[in-house]
Amino acid sequence: MNRSRFAARAPALVGALSLVSALAVVGCSDDKSPFHYSDPETGALRLIKKSADGKSITFDFVVGDTALTGYSTGFTLPVDATRVELGTFTPGTALPAGTAPVAAKATIPTLGPLTGMLVTAQSQKAAGEGAAEADAVLAPGTVLFTVQLTLVDGATSGDVFDGTAEGFVLPSGGLRNKLGITVVDKGQVAVGKLTVAK
Amino acid sequence: MKIGFLLHSVFTRAMAVPLRTRSGSALTMSMIVLATACKSTSHSSAPPAAQATAAHSAAPEEREREAMMWPRVHRPSGAELTVRNREAERESQKILASQRSGVTARAVAGTTWVSLGPTDAFSQFNGGPFEAVDSGRPNAIVVDPRDPNVVYLALSGGGVWKSFNGASPTAPRWAPLTDALPNLAIGGLALDPASPDTLYLGTGDAFDGAGNTVQKTTDGGITWLSPVPLSGTYPAPNGQLVLPGSIRSMQARANVVMAGTDAGLFVSTDAGATFHLVDLPNRNGKVLLESIWTVVDIGMGGWVVSGVTACDQASGPAPIVNGKDPAADCTEGNDGMIWVSADGASWSIAATPSMTGVGRISLAAANTVDPARVAVYGFIGSVDNRSTRGFWRSLDRGRTWSNATGTLANPSPDCTDLNIGNDQTYYNQAIIADPTNPDRVVIGGNLCGARTLNGTAASPRWELVSHWLPPSSGAVTSNGRLSYVHADWHAGTAVAINGGVRVYVGSDGGVFSTTNVFAASVAAESVTWARHNQGLATHLLYSVASGDPATQNPFVLFAGAQDNGTRFRANPTSPSVFNQPIGGDGIGATVHVATSGTTYWGSVQFSRLFCRPRPTVDCAEGPAWTNVDPVLGMTQEEEVERAAAVRAAGPDANDSEPFFIHYANVETDTTGQSVLTHSVGRIFVSVQGGTGALTWQPISQDLTPSGNGFANVAASRTIPGLYGAAGNISRAPFYVSTTGNTLSDWVVSKPVQPNGTLDRMTGPSSIDFPPVQPPGTTAGQVYIGSFTGVLNNGAPPPDDKGRLYRTTDRGQTWTSIVGSATARLPNVSIYVAKYDPVDPKTIYAGTELGVYVTTDDGASWRRMGNGLPVVQVRDIYVAKNQEFIRVATWGRGLWEMYPSAAANRGASGNGDYDRNQQIDWIDVAAVSSRLGVTPAVMQPPFYTWIMDLAADTKTPPTQLVDGLDLDALLLTFGGRP
């Protein structure tokens, strides 16, 4: 895969590339961590491992190789909730979510249509505390938000999610500008494979 | 239509005597004729040949008289329905594509429509106060078998709604699923129990909103497949090609989908992809059209269907009311029949009791948890559907039936026997059976509901369990007072929940449920009913009356509703709450503001009321309203009886009070109390006497000596003394006066003939005058007229002519103003067309599909703004200074486009911006990017009421998306809206 060529096409190819499953590099694990995660190498937006320890793994949701301009982001990712639960969620500063209220949230619902999914969102605010009027320019590698998953007590070994699987596409995800126009489609949000190996 | 209404002014008297003693019987007579309109106009399902025959065999005046009667909506022919479907689907696609479009120049400079409700009521009054919150008329209620909280409603004009907490006894949250679909008149809705996210809706209300299409969803209503139109040909020797005008009942199981229509039974065996007409067997080997009322799935592949047959092999579908026994002109009789199938493919006539004169039959299956032992019940109407004949029962899966009428154990003055459907049996029939028990059934009709707990007994014992107006003496049985369920039952279902059964009922007042109606330990009078109508802005509105920024009262807003009375916006702090100060069928409504005082006018069928607001008079409450003397100087009851007598006798020159009361505010009268109204024949104006009393004075000759009545009245907003009226006949559609309140002969227009001199447009609906007199013309020379109907030969008007015309020579000649091919007004019914009050080149049209506007004098038209459903718009009010436009819709309540930061808050949105029934990052994005946005913001992202979840902190609350809305949204993040 020619990374630069893919990245160059990515912003304009909304929905064209469903290979979210970006090529996995080598699965890696920090010492003593049960989590094994393969960062995606492609994708306009990517879920990248930030750190891991014996109890949790932390991801950055980052901009890929091409700069983007947008206002709001997020994704919905099916996870094996018998193995992980939501830890911390830290909004990034690139799309400032303001305060009172903070326009950012993550959850793994236990009821409803999104049960067992990691549901995330972050947006700038058009008014109120910490408002930002315009779309933000997001350089490659910009961290949009950080989300942590923690190991469920008694979790068994196995996959938590697998964005590298054939045909995998997130149920929802991407980047939108202030007008609500899609900048990055869910097909361009790349997620790797997370495994628990104890 | 609630005919058994309680006349506002006679409540006390009525309480002392049986409520329906005089008014009820008189109304019965009138409604027979009213309903005759259904009969003749239900030619919609007849084949072209049959339609042509009908058109030529009936005198035009006879057919056109139907327009003044209920149901008022024109029932399209097959050809017209095809045009309507085409236009509606095109407009539906536009809506889906334009939800984020930019602003376009127009007189009212807004971008987005806001739903104003009604979402609730602080009080309801119908002769006296009673505890209730009502909404519009459901035709079907279905519940997801996996989750009793997931409830769907199919509404006669408001589309399909869904709740995820529908079992909540207090306040389920509802959301519309189908606002962008081409037709919101839903007659049937089926959920496939084998795949509960798969549902099929059938369009076309049986009484007042036509349709012949089925739409399918496989994701619980998030997305819908394209409409599938139903049509079919009966086999020889019948040979009639039929297009249904309404789909009355739907059922689905796996690949089999059944649609019971007014033109026959249609069946799909490929999960709704295609449907074919099934010719059900008839007696004597004849091939008759069947009008189907109910389809029931009895499990194990079996089905039971009820319907009414046509008169003979050459006849179109049976009429809804006034069906006939075998006679010279109805050789086979309009027999009510039951058919049964063990496999959904082959059908036979069920063996029914030897009861003659049977009409509409409604069915329900009990004990469906054990299909081998299912019990099927039938609610039996008389052949003319003016009474209930009783109830039938089958214990052998529909093959043979016995009489299960039994006895009524606890009669009340309003419901003395088991004639539960009363004189409206054609209209209000509902039967609901316990899925877990073969003995338990609930029935509902006109004024009361009843249950039996021993339905399989030789003579079941029925007990009343609800009443339409509990404060009245009519609700009292020997054992106590019945609880409230709004009159006129239409639909229902029963679901097993937690070891019990919840029974849902849909009536003219919306949705009600009970969990103890089948409890033998609960006395019938102690059965409790919950209402589920808060948040259901589904009212069927005839009119809108509005205050105006120019008169410093823009908050004032009220509307006349079909059997939901007059709905009056109650309180600025809760601006989507509308009380019901007047009950019954609220119809006309208007506001007059003058130095002599402000007067609000409301109505009930045949009757007019007013309220004059003062600091001590709250017009949101019933006691503030006063009956005004009828225009013809008779008492209200005399008018009712006279109207019935006149109609029963046929056309003559005797004037009478109309069922449909219309008003026109005379805005140019800034000192007096001029408001126009009409009898069946003449136009009247209200005049304030020296004592302050309001009386009516005739100002026209008898304009409709054949008794055709009026569709509307109008007064120029800028030119004093210029009045008009739309009649109900094609030969003389419009009437104009330039002499104001002086009695004079009005000028009668010539017909509108789009194709030259051959055919005439039928169904005049409104008339209006330009706000500025065109140069070189005099008052009354130029005006516009709209139509709901078709040509008098039954054909739709040509697309390039449509249903809106202008005259510049006092109605002598007419020119279509529907625009060019690329920017044309849809060729559908236009209920009202109004000039902008300032710009003479701007006209607003309330159509079958929403609001359209021209800003170039009719040269081009566009759909106005974003967010308004594809719904019938019956009335329009534009603020005098163009600040806002408010509209009354048939099934989706009141809407406004008010580009002001001060606009009063509307209905609460649920935050589901992309309508995918879950709250996720797209919804957070949509609300966050709109923070601070009001309807005054003229650049995207625009205000949308869907993202305005919570009231802001302003007093009164406004249309503003703010942090409270984001807070509210985040509370549901990751869950259901």
Of B913, B926, B974, the CB nearest to A107: B974
Contacts of A165 (CB under 8 A, 6+ apart): A21, A193
ipTM of this predicted structure: 0.89
**Complete DSSP assignment for A169-198:** --SEEEEE-TTS-EEE-GGGEE--EEEE--
Over the stretch A90-99, which tens digit does the pLDDT of each residue have?
A: 999 999 999 9
A141 in B contact zone (CB under 8 Å): no
Of B100, B921, B941, the CB nearest to A120: B921
The tokens for B293 are 């009322």
Choice among A74-88, B54-68, B849-863 with the minimum mean pLDDT: B54-68
Gap from B917 CA to chain A (nearest CA, Å): 8
The tokens for A127 are 């008014």
What's the whole-number mean pLDDT along residues A153-165? 97
Helix (H, G, I), strand (E, B) or coil at B67: helix
Over the stretch B249-258, which tens digit does the pLDDT of each residue have?
A: 999 999 999 9
Of B928, B940, B975, the CB nearest to A112: B975
Give the β-pairing of A45-52 and A189-190.
parallel
Distance CA B976, CA B369 (A): 30
Q: Do A111 and B918 touch (CB under 8 A)?
A: no
Give backbone dihedrals phi and psi of B215, rounded to 5 degrees, phi first. Answer: -125, 145
Of B924, B941, B962, the CB nearest to A103: B924
Over the stretch B297-318, which tens digit does the pLDDT of each residue have?
A: 999 999 999 999 999 999 999 9
**Contact present, B947 and B977 (Cβ < 8 Å):** no
Most B-contacting residue of A179, A183, A184 (CB-CB within 10 A), to test interface: A179
CB-facing half-sphere around the CA of B771: CA atoms within 13 A: 20
Most A-contacting residue of B924, B952, B966 (CB-CB within 10 A), to test interface: B924
What is the model's pLDDT at position A5?
A: 31
**Contact present, B633 and B659 (Cβ < 8 Å):** no
**Complete DSSP assignment for B918-937:** S--HHHHHHHHTTTT--TT-
Contacts of B567 (CB under 8 A, 6+ apart): B118, B121, B539, B541, B558, B559, B561, B578, B579, B580, B586
Q: Do B924 and A173 touch (CB under 8 A)?
A: no
A109 in B contact zone (CB under 8 Å): yes
What's the whole-number mean pLDDT along residues B270-277? 98
Over the stretch B660-701, which tens digit does the pLDDT of each residue have?
A: 999 999 999 999 999 999 999 999 999 998 888 898 999 999
Residue in chain B lying closest to A176 (CA): B925
**Contact present, A187 and A17 (Cβ < 8 Å):** yes
Closest by CA to B274, choosing from B200, B187, B347, is B200
Distance CA B2, CA B508 (A): 7
Q: Do A119 and B920 touch (CB under 8 A)?
A: yes
CB-facing half-sphere around the CA of B681: CA atoms within 13 A: 17
Closest by CA to B143, choosing from B517, B529, B531, B493, is B493
Per-residue confidence at A170, pLDDT binned at 50, 70, 90?
A: very high
Gap from B973 CA to chain A (nearest CA, Å): 8
Q: Do B931 and A131 touch (CB under 8 A)?
A: yes
Mean of all residue pLDDT scores within chain A? 88
Closest by CA to B558, choosing from B615, B592, B601, is B601
Over the stretch B185-237, which tens digit does the pLDDT of each residue have?
A: 999 999 999 999 999 999 999 998 899 999 999 999 999 999 999 999 999 99
DSSP run (H or E) holding B53: helix B48-57
Residues in chain B within 8 Å Cβ distance of A179: 100, 929, 940-941
Gap from B866 CA to chain A (nearest CA, Å): 15
Mean of all residue pLDDT scores within chain B? 89
Residues in chain B within 8 Å Cβ distance of A108: 974
Distance CA B426, CA B444 (A): 13
What's the whole-number mean pLDDT along residues B578-594? 97
Q: Do B920 and A108 touch (CB under 8 A)?
A: no
Q: What percent of chain B has pLDDT over 70?
A: 89
What's the whole-number mean pLDDT along residues B344-351? 97
CA torsion angle B863 B868 B873 B875 (round to 10): -100
Gap from A23 CA to chain B (nearest CA, Å): 26
Query: If you count them, how many residues does chain B have?
Result: 977
Gap from A2 CA to chain B (nearest CA, Å): 31
Residue B962 identity: D
Contacts of B485 (CB under 8 A, 6+ apart): B444, B449, B466, B467, B468, B505, B507, B509, B512, B529
A96 in B contact zone (CB under 8 Å): no
B941 in A contact zone (CB under 8 Å): yes
For B138-202, the three-class secondary structure string (H helix, E strand, C coil) is EEEEEECCCCCCCEEEEECCCEEEEECCCCCCCCCCEEECCCCCCCCCEEEEEECCCCCCCEEEE
Distance CA A72, CA A173 (A): 10
B975 in A contact zone (CB under 8 Å): yes
A118 in B contact zone (CB under 8 Å): no
Is the backbone of residue B65 left (phi > 0), alpha (psi -120 to 50) or beta? alpha
Residue in chain B lying closest to A118 (CA): B974
Query: If you count them, how many residues does chain A have?
Result: 198
Q: What percent of chain B has pLDDT over 90?
A: 82
Residues in chain B within 8 Å Cβ distance of A72: 921, 924-925, 928-929
Contacts of A87 (CB under 8 A, 6+ apart): A56, A58, A147, A148, A149, A150
pLDDT at residue B74 above 80?
A: no
Residues in chain B within 8 Å Cβ distance of A76: 920-921
* Alpha carbon distances (Å) from B781 to A15, B539, B749, B836, B842: 59, 37, 11, 18, 18
Over the stretch B903-915, which tens digit does the pLDDT of each residue have?
A: 999 999 999 999 9
Most A-contacting residue of B920, B923, B930, B937 (CB-CB within 10 A), to test interface: B920
What's the whole-number mean pLDDT along residues B38-60? 27
Of A100, A108, A179, the CB nearest to B100: A179
Closest by CA to B507, choosing from B70, B157, B140, B251, is B140
* Dihedral of alpha carbons B36, B37, B38, B39, sign: positive
Of A101, A113, A127, the CB nearest to B976: A113
What is the model's pLDDT at position A112?
A: 92
Distance CA B475, CA A23 (A): 73
Choice among B494-503, B550-559, B628-637, B850-859 with the minimum mean pLDDT: B628-637
Residue B749 identity: S
- DSSP secondary structure code for residue B226 in this structure: P
Q: Do A121 and B924 touch (CB under 8 A)?
A: yes
Per-residue confidence at A29, pLDDT binned at 50, 70, 90?
A: low
What is the model's pLDDT at position B79?
A: 83
Q: Do A101 and B966 touch (CB under 8 A)?
A: yes
